[in-house]
Chains A and B, each alone.
Chain A
Amino acid sequence: MIAGLLGIHVAVVAPSALAANTDLVLILDQEGGGRPAHYAFLSGLRQALARNPGGKYELSTEHLDTDLYDKPGYRKTFTTQLNTKYRGRKLAAIIALDPNSLDYMLEVRPALWPQVPIIFTGLDEEAARRLAGQTNLTGVTIDIDPGSTLEAAIRLCPDARRIALVSSDQGSLFVYKELQAQAERFASTGFECIPLRGLTLAETKHRVAMLPVQTIVLYHSVRMEEGYQVLTQRDALAELSSVSRSPIFSCEDIFIGFGTVGGACVVYSGLGAEVAQRAVLAIRAGSAQSVPVIKSAQHRLIFDWREMQRWGLDDSRVPPASEVRFRPPTLWEEHRDAVLIALVALVLQTGLVIALLVQRFRALQTRRALREHREQLAHAGRISAVGQLASALTHELNQPLGAIRRNVEAAELFLQRDPPDYAEVRAIMADIFKDNLRAGEVIDRMRGLIKRRSPESNPLAMDEIAKEALRFVRAAAVVHKVGCELEIPSDLPMVQGDRVHVQQVLLNLMLNAMDAMKDTPPHDRRLLVSARLAERGAVEVAVSDSGPGIPGDKLPRLFEPFFTTKPSGLGLGLATSRTIVEALGGRIWAENRSCGGACFRFTLPIFRRSATR
């Protein structure tokens, strides 16, 4: 049958087809549409109904408007209009949004829609209790809560001394009662209460602008006078806010964003959903009789972060469980994933950096230890070299010491003469002084080699270093009958290194060379120290001998520690030399000369001004 009806009516008029299939809900309120509260409520209601499965609803809104247009006979005309408008339509439920609308509906329902359930809201619990005698009626009571709002306001503005209550004298009576009660309550705790009641917007603006600081303004509404009707209470709030020197609080969520800090607010869209739920229950049951009246749970502490900033209120002081709107989302809130990734990356990076730092620190420590060990080894090497040179050095020392002794003995004789030969003695003294210096130099040279020291990096003239090294081995060269030659161009660039270390390398190589020529006929024993400019900014120094050369199988192992070809050798001389040369940034290698004998070469970087530390 339904299908048949559908078939007929769909062809003729669509609304009728709709009507057959949907539940028509009539919504009546006092002041009319377009008000923010009304709009929020309806939108909550619509959404809740739309989400409700199994039902299709049609909404129709009507406005009683008796506040402004309560002319004699108007109610009767309005009732007739409603009757005419909805004739033939079956109403599923009636929703009354305020006490006046409810009163009206309760009055006209028996005649117009006797079986239709009425769902009310806009009443407090006390008013609802007085409706106990009514049948087929349910609803959602609301609780405008200026008390909690003021408590929150005082918490946010601890310096406040005054409370200004802005309200009209129109609308629901219970609101003003509640406001009055709260005013009395706070007056008793020492606050000065300033009632700004029943004033027009212009008057209120003037008064609010004149309010002293340390005042909390609680805004509910202003009296709308003729000419200001185009404005809503929310617009009025915005006007007040623009002139106020004190923060304004309020009890309705629709005001948030229009100049109020916030407060314990009724959430109209939530209320709409609650009312929708009552309506759905009543429609399903066919009556509101079994649907209990509930108290709206839709009021929450809501604050506007921007207003708090404006008044310098500490947003950490908002009561617990408050909703703070318009707080710019923190980076975390806005880009959680990106922040997470960035954080993880940062943590990983930090970890990596720390790991690298630790590694670097360890490497530095190791390098320092290595450097120390290297210097210890080098030092040991130098002592060993001095040991090898001991007899030669003793000879070098005994030479001047012997000369001094002979001179002293001669001087005695010259002094014993009659007359003493002072001229000769003076010559002797000069000679003694010279020999003393000479002996001192030998000792200084030896000390320079033996002394423990940390390596330096200086510009060094290779020919000077080589000459000095040669002075060391000169005596030994005489003993071993080795002819020493130096072939170092004086215009060779300076090299970069540690004087003693470079000298040590040269000494090692020269002593080795002399050792190597032990079995060479004396007149063939030749040691040549030469140097030349090598490629890549280095000077190459060569120490060549005329010995038997190095057996091919031993060439690659020469610089290994403890590798030695000498029965009494430790095998550290060349290893130490390599360590020293490499630490100075050069390299060292050995080769056999085509004309016989071995040649040890090493490079040292050319000194550059920028390379100085």
Chain B
Amino acid sequence: MTAAKPIVHVVDDDPSFLVAVTRLLRASGYLVRTFSSAEEFLKESTGVSPGCVLLDLQMPGLNGLELQEAIAKWEHPLPIVFLTGYGEVPTAVQAIRHGAEDFLAKRCSKEELFNAIDRALDRDARERTQRARRHEIRRLFNTLTPREREVLGHVVRGELNKQIAADLTLNERTVKLHRTAITTKLRVKSVAEVMQLLHEAGLIKDGQLLR
């Protein structure tokens, strides 16, 4: 939820290409940070601020795919656009499968490059918003009392108040009170909205409430 301008992180061991692509991106209005190796990038970046990574596939030390793996573990994994001198299909497939935004040749056109970067930045912004919302939902969710969470678990399964009351040896009225508390805490009006929130935050899996 930060308003900072997204940064394009360029990681390439080839200084000449690094300078050239940075020059182009900056001239085109991008904010750019450069790194001459995956290690350097990992040391200095955390993914807190929005942006994307323009990543050379072949580098000594950690290569592009390995850096991709490391970034994937971040809380805010930056979208990656791979650049390669010589694209091999299996490598590209692996990169995409692991969530790369794009896989471009170093000699691609400016437009292809910008499109890919823009898409990556959009995606980052989108994902950041999503992550922020999910975070908010979870924060609200965490305000629920254990009993409320228990009741919610049954609600999620689609049980009626009567059934819930029976299962939890509560009276039906108490169950109702819990439900109202839940909707209030989660700042929604209906159970349907609660379900949507839970889904959004990834708190429901296979019709079961997680946690």
Interface residues of A (CB under 8 A from B): 391-392, 394-407, 409-410, 413-414, 424, 428, 431, 434-435, 438, 475, 477-479, 481, 483
B28 x A396 contact (CB < 8 A): no
Asked if A431 meets B16 with Cβ closer than 8 Å, knowing A405-B107, A410-B24, A478-B60, the reply is: yes
Residues on A with beta carbons closer than 8 Å to the beta carbon of B14: 399, 403
Q: Establish whether residues A438 and B85, one from each chain, have CB atoms under 8 Å apart when the complex forms.
A: no
Q: Does B85 contact A402, Cβ atoms closer than 8 Å? A: yes
Docked-complex contact A431 and B63, CB < 8 angstroms: no
Asked if B21 is at the interface (CB within 8 A of a chain A CB), the reply is yes
Known: A391-B88, A403-B14. A478 touches B20 (CB 8 A): no
Minimal beta-carbon separation of B137 from chain A (angstroms): 41
Task: List 17 A-B residue pairs with CB atoms under 8 Å apart, sorted by A's residue number.
Answer: A397-B85, A398-B86, A398-B105, A398-B106, A399-B16, A401-B106, A402-B106, A403-B14, A403-B19, A405-B106, A406-B21, A407-B20, A413-B27, A413-B28, A428-B23, A431-B20, A481-B63
Contact of A409 among B17, B24, B58, B88 (CB under 8 A): B24
The residues of A that contact B60 with a CB separation of less than 8 Å are: 477-478, 483
B13 neighbours in A (Cβ, 8 Å): 478
Give the residue among A401, A409, A438 with the most B Cβ atoms within 10 A.
A409
Q: Which residues of B contact A438 (CB under 8 A)?
A: 16
Q: Which residues of B contact A (CB under 8 A)?
A: 13-14, 16-17, 19-21, 23-24, 27-28, 58-60, 63, 83-86, 88, 105-107, 110
Which residue of the partner chain A has the closest CB to B61? A481
Given contacts A407-B23, A410-B27, A478-B60, contact A395 B17 (CB under 8 A): no
CA of A398 to CA of B110 in the docked complex: distance in angstroms?
15
| Complex Cα gap A483–B106 (Å) | 24
Query: How far, in whole Å, are A395 and B58 apart by their CA atoms in the complex?
Result: 9
Q: What residues of chain A lie closer than 8 Å to B27, measured between beta carbons?
A: 410, 413-414, 424
Chain A residue at smallest Cβ distance from B110: A409
Residues of B within 8 A of A394 (CB): 85-86
Task: From known contacts A406-B17, A428-B23, A475-B58, infer whether A401 and B86 are also in contact, taking CB-CB under 8 Å.
Answer: no
Task: Summarize A's interface: helix, strand, loop or mixed.
Answer: helix
CB pair B86 A403 closer than 8 Å: no
Q: How far is the CB of B52 from chain A (nearest CB, A)?
A: 17
Closest 7 CB pairs of A and B: A402-B106, A395-B85, A406-B20, A398-B85, A410-B24, A395-B86, A403-B20
Q: Distance (Å) between the CB of B167 and the closest chain A CB?
A: 53
B28 touches A399 (CB 8 A): no
- Give min CB distance, B43 to chain A, whole Å: 18
Least CB separation from A407: chain B residue: B20
- Give Cα A478 to B84, complex, Å: 13
Residues of A within 8 Å of B23, CB to CB, are 406-407, 410, 424, 428
Contact indicator B59/A391 (Cβ below 8 Å)? no
> Inside 8 A of B107's CB, which chain A residues have their CB?
398, 401-402, 405
Most buried by A among B20, B60, B88, B110: B20
Apart from A398-B105, A403-B17, what are 16 other A-B pairs with CB-CB below 8 Å? Answer: A395-B58, A399-B17, A401-B106, A402-B17, A402-B21, A403-B16, A405-B20, A405-B110, A406-B110, A409-B24, A410-B23, A413-B28, A424-B27, A434-B16, A477-B60, A483-B60
A371 to B162, CA, bound (A): 98
